[in-house]
Structure 1
Amino acid sequence: MDIFDDIDDLAIEEEAVMNEYINPVERKVRVVKTRPDHYSMWDGREFHRRFRLMKESVQYLLYLIEDKIKHKTLRNQCIPPMLQLLITLRFYATGSFYITVGDFGGIHSSTICGIIKKVTDAIASLRPIFIKLPRSEEEIRRTQEDFYKIASFPRVISAIDCTHIRIQSPGGNTAEVFRNRKGFFSFNVQAMCSADLLFQDVVARWPGSTHDSMIFSNSSAKFHCQNHAFGNGIILGDSGYEQTNSLLTPFPNPETPAQSLYNESQIRTRNVIERCFGVWKRRFPVLSIGLRCKLPLAQDVIVACAILHNLARTKNEEEPPEDPEVNIPPEPIFPSSAANPIGEERHQTRNIMLTYFQALIL
């Protein structure tokens, strides 16, 4: 049975909305639960295991978003910003139902829904600060040097790939476009990353049935490439992308030593995006378990988790310890589906690279 066959989170979201219109006479008796102080009660390791970030990073994150999530007054047992943030991080760390997360924070499930939406939106608003492609000459040069150290592939500014994030069926007439090749509903999320596993760009709006090359063709990254915003920088992708002068893919059947060396260097250099996805999903298991919420919130959670991943990387945090309470399903494998090839005359950049690798052999 699919894990999304018995879902109550959407019902909780709808209940939270409907409660605003219920006659006061019909309201239930209000019960204020005990709210634990999770920030103080756990040591550094246990805190890291439960919330996937170190205490120092959480404090810094709270500093950035506190004004957006705090209540205007302290009336009616309002929930402090730190508890709101920790509840949201716990949701990202477990993918649990709202009721379970609410019990963890001593808050009713209908309130949890609003907290997760508000905090996720606040974190996602930090995207321009934490997720950005290199644009200045100094940033481009430094990024190219970092990639060159991996396998001596020159001029690389980014590695690109797509990964599927499971969601529940959105319903309606267009639901089937979200069903991917493996048969489950998902977003096909395109990401670009640097040599040190930092997200440079994230596109989280395309349904699971969309081909990788289609996503890139309609992305701002391709627009910037066409306008030479990255100087002589190039992007590395797998065979699921169309070969262009700014995005290089491997040879499907290498025939010469230079082509084989090119492929080896290209694949080793491009591997950073696969590693980035692995670290990202291990840090925030909700991305592997699946998102049991409406599509707009699911998209914001994906972006928010990418931002938190970059925050953890810039703070030099290690991967958090495994949480025995969280069962992460195995990651489905999606073999690359080759894009339509184009004429060899447009492969000018790859031909230049072949000349470079031929010189290395000689």
Structure 2
Amino acid sequence: MYHMVVYDEYNRRNAMRIERRRLRDAQDPFEMPDEQFRAVYRFTRECAFKLIEEMSPHMAKGQRKTFVPIPLKICTALHFFATGSFQRDVGQDFTAALSRTMVSRSVKEVSTVLQNKLMPKWIQFPTEEEYEAIKLRFFEETGFPGVIGAVDCTHIRIKRPDAEIESAYLNRKSYHSKNVQLICDYQLKILGGFAWFGGASHDAYIWEASRINALLEQRYESNGRNHDSWLLGDSGYPLRPWIMTPYRSATSRDEINYNKIHSKARNCIERLNGNIKSVFRCLQRTLFSSPQDAGTIINAVCVLHNFRKGHGISDDSIFDIPINIDEDIRDPEEPNVFLREAVNIRNRIKRSIS
């Protein structure tokens, strides 16, 4: 009797695999109407074709009949990024008849290719020659001079990690997360992303460890400390000549006005955090991956955000969902070799915009 039950279960599962393969082979995601395609994948069909063309040389090429075609793997991953559906749901809806294991493999492969192969092309911090155009846009829109971008961190939920590393990912709101640092320009183009620290890490700690902080310090030193370009950060960041923060206890009219214009100029990073989580809703739900794989998924989504913007896909207001902005307040500034110079720069900006 036991062997008959096992045999029947084997036959049932085998029939399910055959049916899923038949449905998969008959599927063509690109037959959807334009509006439906964009709602499911957050890409136009033309832009999706370009993404597939750019990724295909880096994707695994199989020989077996059961091999999942590269376009279907990429579309499956896009659907997961876009909807935030659990992987079992992604593989059982009308867009992709794939097993849960294959959905997981597709998401991991696509994320890895986006991070390792496309990220260096699509996420680049501007050179000094590119500063002027960015500064002009910020100044025209907000009146704040010298701004080359805004920086902030946002928390992305992940599943509970292994016990030996759990404390590194438990944030101050008592859930497990990655604390992701993003930098953007006024048009919400991502200029830098850092998704490797756990939720227990402070924004300032992540900034101090970032490659862009080291790059800006190096540029400041190489220019003989004659500097007129900076990022904008909130009170969770250290005041430096290359990153301007608000006055902690603004009392004078000039300081209050400075903080008001600073907040207006820095609002772009808050809009970015809200927009990217609204368009790619996997970032709103818990990522049921290891911390390392979750970081890869987050980096992949950042690449897709810039890819969309680079191909003229406007922000999707129909997907906008309010995102709570939570400022990570930092302890009072410790004496630093650059602090006095940064204070002088901030005071000079305060006077110029008063």
Question: So what's the TM-score if we normalise by structure 1?
Answer: 0.84
Deviation at 1:264, TM superposition (A): 1.4
Q: Distance in 1 between matches of 2:316 and 2:44?
A: 9
Deviation at 1:163, TM superposition (A): 0.1
Q: Distance in 2 between matches of 1:181 and 1:318?
A: 35
* Match in the other structure for 1:264: 260
Q: Distance in 2 between matches of 1:87 and 1:276?
A: 25
* Match in the other structure for 1:57: 47
* Match in the other structure for 2:250: 254
Q: Distance in 2 between matches of 1:234 and 1:300?
A: 28
Contact 1:165 1:189 in 2 (8 A): yes
Pairing 1:1-362 to 2, within 5 Å after superposition: 29=14, 30-31=17-18, 32-35=21-24, 37-73=27-63, 75-104=64-93, 105-125=96-116, 126-137=118-129, 139-228=130-219, 232=227, 233-320=229-316, 322=318, 331-343=323-335, 346-361=339-354
Deviation at 1:353, TM superposition (A): 4.0
Task: Look up the equivalent residue of 1:130 and give its one-letter code.
Answer: W
Task: Look up the equivalent residue of 1:176 and give its one-letter code.
Answer: S
Deviation at 1:276, TM superposition (A): 0.7
The runs of 5 or more residues in structure 1 that have no matched partner are 1-25
* Match in the other structure for 1:15: none
Task: Look up the equivalent residue of 1:53 and give its one-letter code.
Answer: F
Between Structure 1 and Structure 2, how many residues are aligned? 330
Contact 2:180 2:194 in 1 (8 A): yes
Deviation at 1:321, TM superposition (A): 7.0
Q: Distance in 2 between matches of 1:173 and 1:352?
A: 44
Change over 3 Å in CA distance of 1:330–1:319 after alignment to 2: closer
Deviation at 1:337, TM superposition (A): 1.7
1:74-102 deviations in Å (ceiling 9; x for gaps)? x3232111111110001112222222111
Deviation at 1:59, TM superposition (A): 0.9
Change over 3 Å in CA distance of 1:160–1:359 after alignment to 2: closer
Task: Look up the equivalent residue of 1:354 and give its one-letter code.
Answer: N
Q: Distance in 1 between matches of 2:65 and 2:155?
A: 41
Over the residues paired in the alignment, what is the CA RMSD in angstroms? 2.3
Contact 1:178 1:185 in 2 (8 A): yes
Q: Which has the higher helix share?
A: 2
Contact 1:131 1:310 in 2 (8 A): yes
Deviation at 1:53, TM superposition (A): 1.3
Q: Distance in 2 between matches of 1:253 and 1:226?
A: 27
The runs of 5 or more residues in structure 2 that have no matched partner are 1-9
Deviation at 1:172, TM superposition (A): 2.2
Secondary structure (helix, strand or coil) at the match of 1:45 reads helix
Mean Cα displacement is larger for which, 118-127 or 281-290? 118-127
1:37-92 deviations in Å (ceiling 9; x for gaps)? 3433311111110011111111111111112225243x323211111111000111
Contact 2:274 2:322 in 1 (8 A): no
Mean Cα displacement is larger for which, 198-207 or 294-303? 294-303
Question: So what's the TM-score if we normalise by structure 2?
Answer: 0.86
Contact 1:192 1:202 in 2 (8 A): yes
Structure 1 stretches of 4+ with a deviation exceeding 3 A read: 26-30, 319-323, 328-333, 342-345
Secondary structure (helix, strand or coil) at the match of 1:279 reads helix
Q: Distance in 2 between matches of 1:330 and 1:248?
A: 27
Change over 3 Å in CA distance of 1:321–1:213 after alignment to 2: closer
Mean Cα displacement is larger for which, 272-281 or 151-160? 151-160
Deviation at 1:219, TM superposition (A): 0.8
Task: Look up the equivalent residue of 2:181 and give its one-letter code.
Answer: Q
Q: Percent identity?
A: 26
1:158-210 deviations in Å (ceiling 9; x for gaps)? 10000000000012222122111111110000111111101111110111011
Secondary structure (helix, strand or coil) at the match of 2:193 reads strand
Secondary structure (helix, strand or coil) at the match of 2:162 reads coil
Contact 2:34 2:45 in 1 (8 A): yes
